[in-house]
Amino acid sequence: MAKRIVIDPITRIEGHLRIECEVDKGKIVNAWSAGTMWRGIEKILEGRDPREAWIFTQRICGVCTTVHAITSVRAVENALKLEVPMNAQYIRNMIIAAHGIFDHIVHFYHLSALDWVDIVSATKADAKATAKLAQSLSPWPHNSHGNIKGIQDKLKSFIATGQLGVFGSGYWGHPAMKLSPEVNLLAATHYFQALDYQRRINKVVAILGSKSPHIQNLAVGGVSNPINPDSQSTLTLERLFYIKELIDEIGAFINDVYMVDVSAVGAFYADWTQYGAGVTNYLSVPDMPQDTTGTLFDLPGGYIPNGDVGKFENIDSFGADLFKNNVKESVKHSWYEGEWDRHPWEEETVPKYAERQDDGKYSWVKSPTFKGKPAQVGPLANVLAMFAAGHGPTKKHATRVLDLVSQLAGTKVGLGALHSTIGRHAARAIRCAVLNDVLQKQWQGLVDNIGAGDYTTFNEPVFPKGEIRGVGFHEAPRGVLSHWVVIEDGRIKNYQCVVPSTWNAGPRNQNDELGPYEASLIGNPVADPEKPLEVLRTIHSFDPCLACAIHMLDSDRNEIVKVRTVI
Amino acid sequence: MNSGESGEEKTLNILVLGVGNVLLSDEGVGPRVVEGLSNGYQAPHGVELVDGGTMGFDLLPYLDERTHLLVVDAVNTGKEPGHTVRIKLDDPASFFRTMVSPHQLGLGEVLGVAAMTGNLPPSIVVIGIEPASLETSIDLSPVVEKKLPVLIKMVVDELKSLGIILKPTSDA
């Protein structure tokens, strides 16, 4: 008899995601992914000035602020066929890369490592043995016995107070937790160090974005950062060199800590390369434009059908037909008026809630398709595309991770292992290292361009009479983000955001095919339906984030999350 | 993570943090109160007003070395919409709602991490209001809109109790 598990919400970030699974004989046999909140940014933007859309879109989400801002200006620029000055591209690219690094590090250490790492077990470790292990794996200078012992003592005293705080509701001692106390302690040590490094890289966003937590330096047509090497109030050489220092520091952390930890977790949980593949049509987009028109990119992107890297199709420019003509969204299983399957420019957003039905409407998230098929997006999709495109830094970092995993696991692990729950974590680390290389390059590009006397950062947009349409895309930390805008007489007529978590968390599509979250859960083991840690592992490997942030305080301290097992 | 001036007056270092999503009506009341304070008053030395939006870990650096944290947010009090509350938090991390995993990222987790790393401000007060609407809209509900001046005054009074007088900009 199949059991049904309901986890609501499952997202670690503000936003509500509900997963329902049917478990039979210890394995998941069916799954439904549902976004439980309606996101109506499109309604807010209708009739507004396209130049201010980015200010609103960056408030959609608590984590993806800059990514919505950047994609929004790109959509309007695409509609206007407006060129963007090189300095503006470099500054935007640096913000994108720094934000991506920040996001990947926080996701691994603070949002998902605890699915794999048992913090309570770490207190029982031999700190000397942990230090020895750490030093055998990496030259990182902060793996000393003293550093590690310090963190262990801190954890012990924390746990002794009975206040586990952020670790309070973990599944400690769960049978699916397999790391030795020493490896758990090493991961816990780096959990704390990562807190420090994520702050450093976020400073790059704050300096360039003029303000954090929400950046203020964007404009349709460029950026508003004035560049004048002689003025204190602008982007000076002193600030640029401080940014360089931060990039170097974070690069060491990524290469000597993050990449190594991901490899170790991957090697010790090698069985998880067998689970969680799900939808293996992969979609990503190129990013880091290296010209003013968006036809030359530092990072490639494109489409890979059926996990076949040999069938890679390259997306070669902003607004490329391959991307523009092949995206559709279906509302057959979503709480909107109608049963349609439409191109984003032709969509409408008319919510219509009805009772949840397994084979009817059950989610607020629409179901996007590429070439009529569901597609998985995210770092894995992007790494596979970059690999297929022959991107040098991607090949270098991917090879390093796979070699390290092979060495630790004592068996040869190839690229194919990436099509899995644990593979998504490895791909995210690889992409993080690639982003750091790119960040270095963008920094140099900006410094050289300023050195050559180019201080331009903005081209004035002019809106024509009549209707124009644009699409902006960005390879965000969670994958392909696209904004679709229809502008009439200089005002927004239609605006649709097709966000990464829509691609991955979407419900069944027009042909009733499962979305990536749903498909990835089929066949996953579940040791204890009351503590469905395995479900969390697979869903969290996507870095779930529903772009509809809401977080409210509750003065009664009510438990809001429910894990229910229904016969 | 010293954000700037240090030195003579190290006694008070207060963060007024408005959190919430301004696209969801009353959910955005925190940022709206901060906006009202920024427009209407001059924040003196030792007080920083921050619109935290819906950010998570990005907010950590803002907590560094604070003596007091004042959070303004929509609060689920179970009372009628527009009901305002002042809550002194003795156990901040557990105040914020519990999540399924140890790593949901909300203000609760941010404070939880700050507690672990020793960056938790010693005094935390929440100024809150029961929302009337969480619909998608950039406007507050009329009930909460009408209470904005009350909330702003609650923050001003809270600061006054700490010996800090906010001067209205119009007096300058």
Query: What single string gives the DSSP state of each residue in A199-216?
Result: HHHHHHHHHHHSSSSS--
Pick among B57, B72, B90 to test the A interface (most A CBs inside 10 A) = B57
Report pLDDT for B141: 97
State the sign of the Cα–Cα–Cα–Cα dihedral A358, A359, A362, A365. positive
DSSP code at position A49:
-
| Alpha carbon of A541: minimum distance to chain B alpha carbons (Å) | 13
Average pLDDT of the residues in A37-54 = 85
Using a CB-CB distance cutoff of 8 angstroms, which residues of chain B are in contact with residue A556?
76, 78
First and final CA of chain A: distance in angstroms?
8
Q: What is the mean pLDDT of chain A?
A: 89
Q: Does an H or E element contain A450, and which?
A: helix A421-451
Residue B151 burial class via C-beta count within 10 angstroms: exposed 0-12, middle 13-18, buried 19 and up? buried
Rounded Cα distance, B172 and B167, in Å: 8
Q: CA of A530: which chain B residue's CA is closest?
A: B100
Catalytic annotation on A121? no
- A212 Ramachandran zone, left/alpha/beta (phi>0; psi -120 to 50): beta
Q: Residue A160 — pLDDT band, cuts 50, 70, 90?
A: confident
Catalytic annotation on A4? no
Per-residue pLDDT for A547 more than 50?
Answer: no
Contact B54 A59 (CB under 8 A): yes
Using a CB-CB distance cutoff of 8 angstroms, which residues of chain A are in contact with residue B22?
59
Average pLDDT of the residues in A449-457 = 93
Report pLDDT for A212: 63
Catalytic annotation on A64? yes
| Alpha carbon of B20: minimum distance to chain A alpha carbons (Å) | 7
Contact B99 A60 (CB under 8 A): no
Choose between A529 and A421: higher pLDDT.
Answer: A421
Using a CB-CB distance cutoff of 8 angstroms, which residues of chain A are in contact with residue B125?
none
Average pLDDT of the residues in A342-369 = 88
CA atoms lying within 13 Å on the CB side of residue B50:
24
Using a CB-CB distance cutoff of 8 angstroms, which residues of chain B are in contact with residue A534?
none
Q: Is the Cβ of B43 closer than 8 Å to some Cβ of chain A?
A: no
Per-residue pLDDT for A237 more than 90?
Answer: no
Per-residue pLDDT for A11 more than 80?
Answer: no
How many other CB atoms are found less than 10 A from the CB of residue A459?
18
Percent of chain A predicted with pLDDT > 70? 90
Rounded Cα distance, A92 and A158, in Å: 41
| Alpha carbon of B87: minimum distance to chain A alpha carbons (Å) | 9
- Could you read off the pLDDT of A67-102 as tens digits, one per residue? 999 999 999 999 999 999 999 999 999 999 999 999
Catalytic annotation on A432? no
Per-residue pLDDT for A231 more than 80?
Answer: no
Q: CA of A56: which chain B residue's CA is closest?
A: B23
Query: Which residue of the set A18, A21, A64, A540 is catalytic?
Result: A64
Per-residue pLDDT for A4 more than 90?
Answer: no
DSSP code at position A514:
P
Rounded Cα distance, A141 and A143, in Å: 6
Q: Is the Cβ of B104 closer than 8 Å to some Cβ of chain A?
A: yes
Q: Which string of DSSP letters, residue by residue, matches chain B? A: ---S--SS--S--EEEEEES-TTBGGGGHHHHHHHHHHHHEEPPTTEEEEEEET-SGGGHHHHTT-SEEEEEEEEE-SS-TT-EEEEE-SSHHHHSPB-SSTT-BSHHHHHHHHHHTT---SEEEEEEE--S--SSBSSPPHHHHHHHHHHHHHHHHHHHHTT-PPEEGGG-
Choose between A377 and A17: higher pLDDT.
Answer: A377
Average pLDDT of the residues in A254-283 = 96
Choose between A451 and A43: higher pLDDT.
Answer: A451
For tokens 């503000």, what's the residue?
A14
- pLDDT tens per residue across all 172 residues of chain B: 444 444 444 589 999 999 888 888 898 999 999 999 999 999 889 999 999 887 777 888 899 999 999 999 888 878 899 999 998 887 665 555 443 333 346 677 788 788 888 888 999 999 999 999 888 788 999 999 999 999 999 999 999 999 999 999 875 4
State the sign of the Cα–Cα–Cα–Cα dihedral A475, A478, A480, A481. negative
Q: Is the Cβ of B149 closer than 8 Å to some Cβ of chain A?
A: no
| Alpha carbon of B86: minimum distance to chain A alpha carbons (Å) | 11
How many other CB atoms are found less than 10 A from the CB of residue B172?
7
- Could you read off the pLDDT of B66-90 as tens digits, one per residue? 999 999 988 887 889 999 999 888 7
Rounded Cα distance, B34 and B36, in Å: 5
DSSP code at position A180:
-
First and final CA of chain B: distance in angstroms?
32
- Could you read off the pLDDT of A291-315 as tens digits, one per residue? 999 999 999 999 999 999 999 999 9
Using a CB-CB distance cutoff of 8 angstroms, which residues of chain A are in contact with residue B54?
14, 59, 61-62, 549-551
Pick among B64, B105, B109, B140 to test the A interface (most A CBs inside 10 A) = B105
Report pLDDT for A8: 62
Query: Which residue of the set A12, A18, A68, A74 is catalytic?
Result: A68
Q: In degrees, to the nearest 5, what angle opens at C-alpha A102 toward C-alphas A60 and A499?
A: 35
Report pLDDT for B25: 87
A163 φ/ψ angles, rounded to the nearest 5 degrees:
-105, 95
- Could you read off the pLDDT of A405-450 as tens digits, one per residue? 999 999 999 999 999 999 999 999 999 999 999 999 999 999 999 9
Contact B57 A12 (CB under 8 A): no
Catalytic annotation on A356? no
Report pLDDT for A562: 44
Rounded Cα distance, A419 and A368, in Å: 21
Q: Residue A256 — pLDDT band, cuts 50, 70, 90?
A: very high
Residue A47 burial class via C-beta count within 10 angstroms: exposed 0-12, middle 13-18, buried 19 and up? exposed
Q: What is the ipTM of this complex?
A: 0.80
Q: Is A92 helix (H, G, I), strand (E, B) or coil?
A: helix
By DSSP bridging, strand A562-566 and strand A297-299 are unpaired
Catalytic annotation on A501? yes
Using a CB-CB distance cutoff of 8 angstroms, which residues of chain B are in contact with residue A65?
53, 55
Q: CA of B19: which chain A residue's CA is closest?
A: A551
- What is the amino acid identity at position A168? G
Pick among A478, A551, A556 to test the B interface (most B CBs inside 10 A) = A551
CB B70 within 8 A of CB B155: yes
Report pLDDT for A37: 61
State the sign of the Cα–Cα–Cα–Cα dihedral A265, A269, A273, A279. negative
Q: Is A476 helix (H, G, I), strand (E, B) or coil?
A: strand
Using a CB-CB distance cutoff of 8 angstroms, which residues of chain A are in contact with residue B112?
165-166
| Alpha carbon of B38: minimum distance to chain A alpha carbons (Å) | 15
Query: Which residue of the set A12, A14, A469, A474 is catalytic?
Result: A14
Weakest mean pLDDT among A116-130, A166-180, A196-210, B149-163: A166-180
Per-residue pLDDT for A326 more than 50?
Answer: yes
Contact A114 B101 (CB under 8 A): yes
- What is the amino acid identity at position B62? Y
Which residue(s) pair with A351 in the sheet? A336
Q: Residue A560 — pLDDT band, cuts 50, 70, 90?
A: very low
Contact B21 A59 (CB under 8 A): yes
